[in-house]
Amino acid sequence: MLSLIKIELNKVSKSKLFLAWLCTIFIVLGITAIIIMGLGTDNKLGEFTGQDSNVIRITGKWEGWAIVASLFSSLFTKAAFLIFESYLLSTIIIDEFKRRTIFQLFSYPISKIKLLWGKILSVILIAFIAHFSAHLVIQLFIRFMAVVTESSYIPLASQLINLAGITFATVLIGLLPFVLGMIKHSTAITMLSGLGLAALLSNVSPGSLSNNIADNLFFLIFASFISLMITLFSIYTISRKDINIK
């Protein structure tokens, strides 16, 4: 399995992935900055963090901007990299079915299930590394800006560990577009379903940003388990089909 994953990783253009990763981070930071500036100007930073809770309280106009920026950036990073994962699924798996190049692999004396899981695990690995590293870079940038502006913000190790768990579960949930895309071997459906999933998991309202259901432990465990089961069933179904190479 490790050799299959290595082969898949070697197929991927590292430069394109890095460029996409970097551009995504800049987009997330840009959108977050615009929102923070707007909310701070209107003195509404506290409305999106549930400041009635005992966790976060914002009293001044700009007080706690770093905390709000961290919450918003985490939300946007999740959405952006769910779409990024859909792109990976499209290029690494769906497109090969669409162009029928994967059928050549199926002619080799290797289990179809093993081949498909090699691709799925490659997507999971790339998506998790890209997603979590983006979180780290953005958190470090917010920390740097907090120091520059003399604001109070120190991301704790426990928060980063929790973020890693949320990221991994989100990546597993992000496999669902693969199932939908395989119905018609459509990269467009894969990308659109990824976009829809990103919108669904990033849907928040004032007062719920710090208590988003998509970050709830039980929801993440349940949703990631369901996603894995559906993916497993889809792979099993694909492996049972007779493949004709044309």
Question: What is the Cα–Cα distance from 142 to 158, expressed in whole angstroms?
Answer: 17
The end-to-end CA distance of the chain, in Å, is 27
Question: What is the Cα–Cα distance from 246 to 240, expressed in whole angstroms?
Answer: 18
Name the E strands within 168-213. Answer: none
Question: What pLDDT, on the 0 to 100 scale, is given for residue 224?
Answer: 92
Question: What pLDDT, on the 0 to 100 scale, is given for residue 56?
Answer: 42
Question: What pLDDT, on the 0 to 100 scale, is given for residue 88?
Answer: 92
> Could you tell me if residue 245 is inside a domain?
no
Counting the structural domains of the chain, the total is 1
> Could you tell me if residue 150 is inside a domain?
yes
> Could you tell me if residue 35 is inside a domain?
yes
Domain limits at 32? 2-240
**Mean pLDDT, the chain, integer:** 80
Question: What pLDDT, on the 0 to 100 scale, is given for residue 70?
Answer: 80
Question: What pLDDT, on the 0 to 100 scale, is given for residue 51?
Answer: 46
> Could you tell me if residue 185 is inside a domain?
yes
> Could you tell me if residue 233 is inside a domain?
yes
Question: Chain centroid to CA 133: how far?
Answer: 11
Q: Is the pTM of this model over 0.85?
A: no
> Could you tell me if residue 104 is inside a domain?
yes
Residue 42, classified by CB atoms within 10 Å of its CB into exposed (0-12), middle (13-18) or buried (19+), is exposed
Query: Nearest to residue 191, comparing CAs of 86, 77, 82?
Result: 86
Question: What is the Cα–Cα distance from 214 to 200, expressed in whole angstroms?
Answer: 9
> Could you tell me if residue 246 is inside a domain?
no
Q: What is the mean pLDDT of each run of 10 residues along the chain (246 residues)?
A: 78 87 91 79 59 44 69 87 92 86 73 86 93 91 80 70 89 93 88 90 60 73 92 86 53
> Could you tell me if residue 85 is inside a domain?
yes
Residue with structure tokens 């459906």?
189
Question: What pLDDT, on the 0 to 100 scale, is given for residue 1?
Answer: 72
SS3 157: helix
Residues 6+ positions from 150 with CB-CB distance below 8 Å: none
